[in-house]
Amino acid sequence: MCVHQSINITTKSSSSILFYQFTQQNLPACKPVLTPSWIVTTFLLMGVIFIPIGLVTLRTSHSVIEIVERYDTECIPEKFRGNKVSYIKDSTILKNCSLYLKVPKHMKAPIYIYYQLDNYYQNHRRYVKSRNDQQLLHGLKSNDTSSCQPEDSSNGLPSVPCGLIAWSLFNDTFKFIRESSELVVNRKNIAWKSDRNHKFGKQVYPFNFQNGTFIGGGSLDPSVPLSDQEDLIVWMRTAALPSFRKMYGRIEEDLDADDVIAVHLMNNYNTYSFGGKKKLVLSTSSWLGGKNDFLGVAYVFVGSSSIIISLVFMLLHVKNPRPYGETAYLSWNR
C-alpha cells in the first residue's frame, strides 16, 4: 500500500544526515496509495468488526430491565387537575400519592432508583452560574457570593449553600413496599466520590437555607454537613440535556417477575409552572450501564452499510475496467 521513500547518503554524520533530509524535504516516508483492494478490505474489516460489537451491545441493552412511570399528572387528585400550580404551591395540602409498579422480569440487585425530569433546563447558563464553589467548601468564611445573586441571602443573612441550583433542590420522596414489607433503599454513596470529598466541605453546615419568600425546592437538615448531604450533591452536578435522570438510591435485594411494588411518594416538587414532567425509574445495570438501544443499532447499521458499500464498490470495480493512465478523464481534457 505504501510507497516508501528513502535516500542513502554516506558521507555525512547521522545528525547532519537528519538535518539534511529535513531541509531538503527528503525524510524517509511512507506514502499510502488508496488502491481498490485496500478500499474493499477496509470496508469489509469495518463491517466485520462493527456488526458483532453492535449485536453484543444490543443484547446487553435488552438484558437491562427498566421500569419507567410518569407520576406528575396522576398524582394530582381529580379536583385539583384544573389548577395544578396552585395545588402544588399550597403547603397545607398533604401531597402523598401511591403508585403500583409491576416488575416485568426478574431484576437482580442492585436495582437503581432514579427520578427523571423532562423539559427541565438544568443546563441553562444563568442557572449553572448561580453557585459558589468556595462557599460549598468553606461555608460562611467565604465572603464573596456575588455569583449566587439573587439567591445569596435572605432576610439580611447569607444563605449556605447559596445559588439557584441549591435553591431548586428536588424534594419528592419515595418509599417502596412489596407485599406489605418495606424495601430497604440505600441512600448512601449515590453521589460521585470526588464530589463528596473535594467539592463539599466536611465542616460546612446549611445555614439560613430556603428561608426566603419564594420556596424553590427542598430544605436541608442544618445538623448534617454538606459532604453528607448526598441529595444536594447529586442535584448540584448539573445535567447535560433537558431530559435527565438523577440517582435517588438503590434497592439491594432482587425483585421477582410479576411482583407488584407499591410506591408511596410525596409529590412536593413543582414542575407544573413550566410544563415539566416527572418520572420514576427503576433500572438494573449491565457492564455497559443502563438501557439504550441506540449504540447497538448504530453499530449494526454502520457495519452493514460498510459491507454493502464494499460489495457495491467491488461490483463496480470489476464491471468497469479502466486502463490506468487514461488522460481522457483529466479535467482539462474533458
CB-nearer residue toward other proteins: 132 or 171: 132
For the chain, what's the residue count? 334
> Residues 9, 29, 48, 85: which binds other proteins (CB under 8 A)?
29
Q: Is 229 in the site for other proteins (CB under 8 A)?
A: no
Of residues 47-66, those binding other proteins (CB under 8 A): 50, 53, 57
Contact status: 318 vs other proteins (CB under 8 A) = no
Q: Does 291 bind other proteins (CB under 8 A)?
A: yes
Identity of the residue, 58 or 76, whose beta carbon is nearer to other proteins in the bound complex: 58
**Could you write out the three-class secondary structure of 57-108?**
HHHHHHHCCEEEEECCCCCCCHHHCCCHHHHHHCCCCCCEEEEEEECCCCEC
Q: Which is nearer to other proteins, 133 or 221 (CB)?
A: 133
214 is an interface residue for other proteins by CB under 8 A:
no
**The binder of other proteins chosen from 158, 212, 242, 276 (CB under 8 A):** 242
H-only helix segments in the chain: 14-23, 36-63, 84-89, 125-129, 133-138, 164-167, 193-194, 230-236, 294-319
- How many CB atoms are closer than 10 A to CB 184? 12
Which of these segments, 159-167, 252-260, 261-269, 290-298, binds other proteins (CB under 8 A)? 290-298
Binding string, residues 194-213; x marks residues near other proteins by CB under 8 A: x---xx--------------
d(CA 242, CA 231): 19
188 makes contact with other proteins (CB under 8 A): no
Instruction: Check residue 287 for interaction with other proteins (CB under 8 A).
Output: yes
The dihedral sign for the CA sequence 134, 135, 139, 143: positive
Q: Does 8 bind other proteins (CB under 8 A)?
A: no
Residue placing its CB nearer to other proteins in the complex, 262 or 298: 298
Contacts for 98 with CB less than 8 Å, ≥ 6 apart: 262, 263, 264, 265
Residue with cell 463528596: 196
Chain position carrying cell 424534594: 171
Separation CA 95–CA 271 (nearest Å): 14
Q: What angle do CA 100, 106, 112 make, to 5 degrees?
A: 65
* Residue 126 within binding range of other proteins, rule CB under 8 A: yes
Contact between 237 and other proteins (CB under 8 A)? yes
Q: Which is nearer to other proteins, 215 or 309 (CB)?
A: 309
Interface residue with other proteins, options 16, 20, 35, 77 (CB under 8 A): 35
- Check: CB of residue 75 under 8 Å from CB of residue 265: yes
Distances in Å between the alpha carbon of 299 and those of 39, 53, 226?
20, 7, 43
What is the footprint of other proteins within residues 58-117 (CB under 8 A)? 110, 112, 114, 116
From 12, 16, 36, 149, residue interacting with other proteins (rule: CB under 8 A): 36
Q: Which of 97, 99, 247, 311 binds other proteins (CB under 8 A)?
A: 247
Q: How far apart are CA 281 and CA 294, in angstroms?
A: 19
Residue 11 engages other proteins in binding (rule: CB under 8 A): no
Phi, psi of 52 (to 5 degrees): -60, -40
Closer to other proteins by Cβ: residue 80 or 127? 127
| Closest to 200 (Cα-Cα) out of 171, 222, 232 | 232
| Smallest gap from residue 129 Cβ to other proteins (A) | 9
Residues 295-314 binding other proteins (CB under 8 A) are 295, 298-299, 302, 305-306, 309, 313
